[in-house]
Structure 1
Amino acid sequence: MSVIAWSWILMVFFIGLMLYLGYAGMKKTKNADDFATARSSYGPIALGLAVCATTASGSTFMGIPGTAYTSGFPSLWYPMIYPIGIYGGMLLTAKMVKQMGDKFSNRTIPEIVGERFNSEFLRVGLALLSLLLIFYIVSQLVAAALMFQTMMGLSYQAGLWLTAIVLGIYLVLGGSHSDILTDAVQGFLMLIIAVMITVMFFTGFGVDGGVSAINDAITAKNPQGGWDTLFIEGHNTYGSAWLVFLILIAHIPFGVLPHIGNKFFALKNGKQMKVFLSFCIVGGALLPMMALGGLLGAAVIPGTLESADAVIPALFVEVFPPFAAALMAVVVLSAILSTGDGLVVSFSQIFANDLYRKTIAKNNPDKEKVERNSLIIGRVSVVACLVLGIILAYNPPQSLAMFLWIGVGGMVSGLAGPLAIGALWKRANKEGAITSFCVGVISYAVLYMGWIPGLEAITNPFAASGYSILVASAVMVVVTLLTKPMSQEFIDNIYGSEVIVPDSKTISQ
């Protein structure tokens, strides 16, 4: 049978499995808190797989290999650097997020920040800023549609609708439980393939002459792409060591973006945090090695691809028999869905939790009604988010890796000071956090959009984010030191010690 025929058979099985896991998630979802957080329900390995899968988006399996395909070896800076930033950021913040989430029944990252600084402005401001993540959602839909187009012969638009329908069904059913259950399975498949791609690259699989031949093929297409070139002169992302350093800075707050940070609530026990984070770090270092597939594809695939982001599916078709190539397509879809579903759930909670439950209905004495309405709003928002995503994705962007950072850059710039510094520094106060949030968001918009007369826009979103984070963090420290500390009683309440309660859930006191 052909690749397309095998792809349909395996994809039907895979989609059926995802829908079954969505049903399993529905059985675990009894209320709005279950839908939003799956609180204290999963062990460190299952949740670690889910977090690795969520972090490694469709960009990791398509956009980053696509960049490697066109730019060569210097583009490996990104897959080497970003896991250090992301998982380093998790090490700084995960314990506080889990601890506060359990104690105060927080459901979202904006709610955590608002609670940490006793600030409605920060909670609502971050919730509204989270709307920018729609660009990240769009990039996942585009990646899935391209995969369906390459591997299954569907039109791009049909691939968009199929992706959105599958996501919509299992997320409406089970929310965060469905998200984590499906992501754990997807993460397991993704790790296997990342290891395979790494082995294929270092053995020169499919290339006469091994790794040296890969380098020769890349330099033939791009003279500055060889393995003896550290930086590409004039490149706005890989042009210097400073630009690479800004990639690291830009990713430190990434690990607590709403769709990733909210998974910390689902860890069964706060004492499992070390095992959980250790597993995440190992898995998170392996998955970006998919970039090596882009380098291998430059040598294996004759000619030039119309879309560089499709290099991994195209490589599978070129070097594997039909069944194996189709199986790889399932893994690529896993990477896309595992990030897309987390994004959609967190996006839905902007409306269900941050705007409705914590703002519009915060004084409503009928808490049961508020919870019922919050669950309904969450499910309706899932559908609305996916419809909006389809509309925005109908004309695909040129580069997925860059497009998703339109929204992510603004989010990390506003989040860095209040959450990263606020998690580590007890002296950090409301005035410093609010100022840092505003400065971070405004500076990112000004730098990325080029709103300063006479100053050219910084089109590299990592650089714009990195500069904004550095400025916002400095402002956070300075303003905090110049203003009154928060009360010791308040700080002791926030940073209370952890205990194990009879039902085995970890809370703070």
Structure 2
Amino acid sequence: MGAEQSVAIWSWVLMVLFIGLMIYFGYFGMRRTRNADDFATARSSYGPIVLGLAVVATTASGSTFMGMPGQAYSLGFASLWYPILYPIGIYGGMLLTARMVKLMGDKFGNRTIPEIVGERYQSEFLRVGLAILSLLLIYYIVAQLVAAAIMFETMMGLDYTVAVWITAIVLCIYLTMGGSHSDILTDAVQGFLMLCIALLVLFMFLTGYGVSGGGMTAVNEAVKAKNPTAGWDTLFIPEHPTYGSAWLAFLLFIAHIPFGVLPHLGNKFLALKNSRQLKVFLMFCVIAGAVLPMMALGGILGLAVLDEPLSHADQVIPALFKELFPPFVAALLAVVVLSAILSTSDGLIVSFSQIFANDLYRKTFAKNQTDEAKVERNALIIGRVAVVGTILLGVWMSYNPPESLAIFLWIGVGGMMAGLMGPLAIGALWRRANKQGAVASFIVGVISYGLIYRDMIPRLEVYGNPFAAAGYSIFIASFVMVVVTLLTKPMPKEHVEKLFGPEKNSSTNQSSFTS
């Protein structure tokens, strides 16, 4: 039996066991789902470590295990700006906003990030606008389905279309059963597996595993022998739209600050048992979240080790494991990569379903209905139906896969980030932030992202770099938020104190949420 065949057989065995485990957790989550709120948030149900594993797993998508290593394989060490900077931006943003999201969600019964923003500013426009803008996250979902299909193709020899459908069916089964409970329980298991593999890849890179002579220096020499500009002495790649300069790297960092409160991540804060556990939860997220992006080092190692060029750079991690390890270990990677993909996909799909079930149906069309029990039943049904519809839409859009997963998913994310920065990130820290400033920031942020990304603003040409477009638009949206707020009346004192509590002293604008 050849090595390729052995890997495929072990991959099938482990994959069946893994999928069975995920469906079991889906059933377990269903038993804990009694109403629409449970389906949407799993409110106050999990401790800091379980939830922390779920959050870092959701953050580290298929792009982390395939897209970023693929860029490292193609470009070399200069591409490591992405895995180094993005966790600092994301988890730094979480430190700023998680407490407000958790406290407001618990205090007012909010279920989604658009609903929390609408409550913060007493604005139906912001709530509905953010909900509609969240539809752009379908691009993110598609990127995960594509990553899963590539993994199945590489490790198990499946046809691409069949692989997409297998992923979709598994997601559909366990998410329609348990919603957020199934999402969090499966993500916690997946996060643990992902951390183990990321630590293994880090060890392999540091020791130069598979490279003659061993050590990082040998890896660097082997990389430069194949691509002279890919070594660690090349900090930036001239004229590259993403890694061309220190300024572009800085914009990449700025672009990720609001990432931690995107709907599929921010709503997970609501599942924490109580606010006293926030410090442990966030500390765990920061540490574990810094480890997972080290998967990109596997792309560097793959460039050093693999002799034959890959037809698709995103295949580098599966190809590296097949080259260096026995079939069982290489097949185990297929499970872990699928974990990364499912852990992001399921959170995205649940939050996407709540656009229809909560933000549009419950809070808009049914807000004046007096039969709350009926509204809750309908919201639960709509949430489950929307899960199926979202997955089917994602499958249809996956038929023509993008060249780079890491870039493609940002087509939808960038506008969402620009729209959220002022209303949520600044609004979490600044009591003075008001409705007029938030609305202006939201509108300007979204429009400026679209214009900048399409190179329609003079002297801000980003040449298809969504990180730079998001970074610029976040700067613009933040400036608008501050200026418009200062030029308009504050929100009613009663509403502000209802949100933040009484000011501790009149000389500070710092919210009690950040103390």
Report the TM-score when normalising by structure 2: 0.95
State the Cα distance separating 1:212 from its structure 2 match.
2.4
Aligned positions of 1:29-428 closer than 5 A: 29-210=33-214, 211-428=216-433
State the Cα distance separating 1:488 from its structure 2 match.
1.1
Give the whole-Å Cα distance in 2 for the aligned partners of 1:421 and 1:361.
Answer: 31
Q: Provide the secondary structure at the position in 2 that maps to 1:11.
A: helix
Residues 447 and 458 in structure 1, CA contact (< 8 A), matched pair in contact too = no
Cα shift readout 1:333-357 (whole Å, capped 9, x = no counterpart) = 1000000000000000000000000
Cα shift readout 1:21-68 (whole Å, capped 9, x = no counterpart) = 000000000000000000000000000000000000000000000000
* Amino acid in the other structure paired with 2:136: L
Cα shift readout 1:205-237 (whole Å, capped 9, x = no counterpart) = 111122223212322333221111111111111
Give the whole-Å Cα distance in 2 for the aligned partners of 1:256 and 1:366.
Answer: 32
Alpha carbons of structure 1 residues 415 and 323: separation in structure 2 relative to 1, 3 Å: same
Alpha carbons of structure 1 residues 437 and 6: separation in structure 2 relative to 1, 3 Å: same
Cα shift readout 1:440-461 (whole Å, capped 9, x = no counterpart) = 0000000112334897564100
State the Cα distance separating 1:95 from its structure 2 match.
0.1
Residue 502 of structure 1 corresponds to none
Give the whole-Å Cα distance in 2 for the aligned partners of 1:457 and 1:333.
Answer: 32
Residue 441 of structure 2 corresponds to 436
Residue 500 of structure 1 corresponds to none
State the Cα distance separating 1:289 from its structure 2 match.
0.3
Cα shift readout 1:381-429 (whole Å, capped 9, x = no counterpart) = 0000010001111111000000000000010010001000000000000
Give the whole-Å Cα distance in 2 for the aligned partners of 1:457 and 1:288.
Answer: 25
Residues 241 and 462 in structure 2, CA contact (< 8 A), matched pair in contact too = no
Alignment gaps of 5+ in structure 1 = 498-506
Residues 237 and 462 in structure 1, CA contact (< 8 A), matched pair in contact too = yes
Residue 24 of structure 2 corresponds to 20
Give the whole-Å Cα distance in 2 for the aligned partners of 1:178 and 1:86.
Answer: 24
Give the whole-Å Cα distance in 1 for the aligned partners of 2:228 and 2:127.
Answer: 49
Residues 458 and 464 in structure 1, CA contact (< 8 A), matched pair in contact too = no
Give the whole-Å Cα distance in 1 for the aligned partners of 2:376 and 2:108.
Answer: 16
Give the whole-Å Cα distance in 1 for the aligned partners of 2:367 and 2:126.
Answer: 16
Residue 476 of structure 2 corresponds to 471
* Amino acid in the other structure paired with 1:262: N
Give the whole-Å Cα distance in 2 for the aligned partners of 1:495 and 1:307.
Answer: 51
Cα shift readout 1:433-482 (whole Å, capped 9, x = no counterpart) = 00000000000000112334897564100000000000000000000000
Q: Provide the secondary structure at the position in 2 that maps to 1:134.
A: helix
* Amino acid in the other structure paired with 1:479: V
Give the whole-Å Cα distance in 1 for the aligned partners of 2:380 and 2:273.
Answer: 22
Aligned positions of 1:452-467 closer than 5 A: 452=457, 456=461, 458-467=463-472
* Amino acid in the other structure paired with 1:436: S
Give the whole-Å Cα distance in 2 for the aligned partners of 1:415 and 1:473.
Answer: 10
Taking only the aligned residue pairs, the percentage that are identical comes to 73
Give the whole-Å Cα distance in 2 for the aligned partners of 1:344 and 1:136.
Answer: 10
State the Cα distance separating 1:99 from its structure 2 match.
0.1
Cα shift readout 1:168-224 (whole Å, capped 9, x = no counterpart) = 000000000000000000000000110000000010111112222321232233322
Give the whole-Å Cα distance in 2 for the aligned partners of 1:84 and 1:423.
Answer: 19
Cα shift readout 1:279-317 (whole Å, capped 9, x = no counterpart) = 000000000000000000001111210010111111111
Give the whole-Å Cα distance in 2 for the aligned partners of 1:10 and 1:437.
Answer: 46
State the Cα distance separating 1:487 from its structure 2 match.
1.1
Residues 190 and 287 in structure 1, CA contact (< 8 A), matched pair in contact too = yes
Residues 462 and 468 in structure 2, CA contact (< 8 A), matched pair in contact too = no
Alpha carbons of structure 1 residues 377 and 301: separation in structure 2 relative to 1, 3 Å: same
Residue 501 of structure 1 corresponds to none
* Amino acid in the other structure paired with 2:281: F
Alpha carbons of structure 1 residues 454 and 193: separation in structure 2 relative to 1, 3 Å: closer
* Amino acid in the other structure paired with 2:336: V
* Amino acid in the other structure paired with 2:161: Q
Give the whole-Å Cα distance in 2 for the aligned partners of 1:446 and 1:216.
Answer: 42
